[in-house]
Homo-oligomer: A and B are copies of this chain.
Amino acid sequence: MRISDLSRESGIPIPTIKFYLREGILPAGSRTAPNQATYGEAHHRRLRLIRVLVDVGGLTLSAVRRVVEALEDDELPLTDVLGVAHRALEKPVPSTDHDLVVARLEVDAWIEARGWHVTVDAPARDALAATLVALRGLGWQVGPRVFDRYAGHMDEIARTELAYVAGMDSREAAVETTVIGTVVFERAMVALRRLAQEHHSRPLLGPRAGVASSADG
């Protein structure tokens, strides 16, 4: 399979494929001559993965690179692949802010109290702290307990997901399922919440349904 075939089958322009090769997120083809190479099904599959991560997951190409490097590392334990996927999806928080440090401690204590066992450097801890800081900056006087309402559901969802992946019989399938599942179902979950919000908003927020009009704030 030459680059033009790969381009035609994947729908991705040749210059873009060359760009991905340069960026190291698509492995080089097998050389057949100093300036010729052939590509296989693995390349095609990789291209589809890249597009899903970028289009569905909203990852930057550098995040994609971190993910595919984790995928390619056969030595890496499955738990670490999950960690890499999580880190790639999260934009790092500056964490120099004092409020953030305080919030982070509260979040850590809350996680502890929940009985969740997660590494101290999990980026989701900072993400949670950041949302707390954001809410407070907007005048909401809230603590980590606002997350209680969501945590039980997420725990249940994650439990089911992980049980599914753990039941798979090949490492490769488990790894890819882990990464894709994290990214794709995140998007799906968010979309489902919005659909449910809209569904419930009709009876609750519709015209004359308890919320007063603009004159009495």
Q: Is the CB of A189 within 8 A of B56?
A: no
Residues of B within 8 A of A131 (CB): 56, 184-185, 187-188, 191
Q: Separation in Å of the A35 CB from the closest CB of chain B?
A: 31
Q: Is the CB of B166 within 8 A of A199?
A: no
Q: Separation in Å of the A175 CB from the closest CB of chain B?
A: 9
Residue of B nearest to A186 (CB): B190
As a 0/1 sequence over residues 101 to 127 of chain A, the CB contacts with chain B under 8 angstroms (1 = contact) are 000000000010000111100111101
Interface residues on A, range: 35 or more
Residue of B nearest to A57 (CB): B134
Given A205-B166, A211-B166, CB of A198 within 8 Å of CB of B52: no
Q: Is the CB of A214 within 8 A of B147?
A: no
Residues of B within 8 A of A157 (CB): 149-150, 153, 193, 196
State whether the Cβ of A212 lies closer than 8 Å to any Cβ in chain B.
yes
Residue of B nearest to A193 (CB): B154
As a 0/1 sequence over residues 175 to 217 of chain A, the CB contacts with chain B under 8 angstroms (1 = contact) are 0100010101111111111111111111011110111111011
**Residues of A that sit less than 8 Å from B by CB:** 45, 48-49, 51-52, 55-56, 58, 74-75, 77-79, 82-83, 86, 89-91, 111, 116-119, 122-125, 127-128, 130-131, 134-135, 137-138, 140, 146-147, 149-151, 153-163, 165-174, 176, 180, 182, 184-202, 204-207, 209-214, 216-217
13 further interface pairs, Cβ-Cβ under 8 Å (given A77-B206, A79-B206): A48-B138, A77-B205, A78-B205, A78-B211, A124-B192, A128-B191, A147-B192, A153-B153, A155-B200, A158-B200, A165-B211, A166-B205, A186-B190
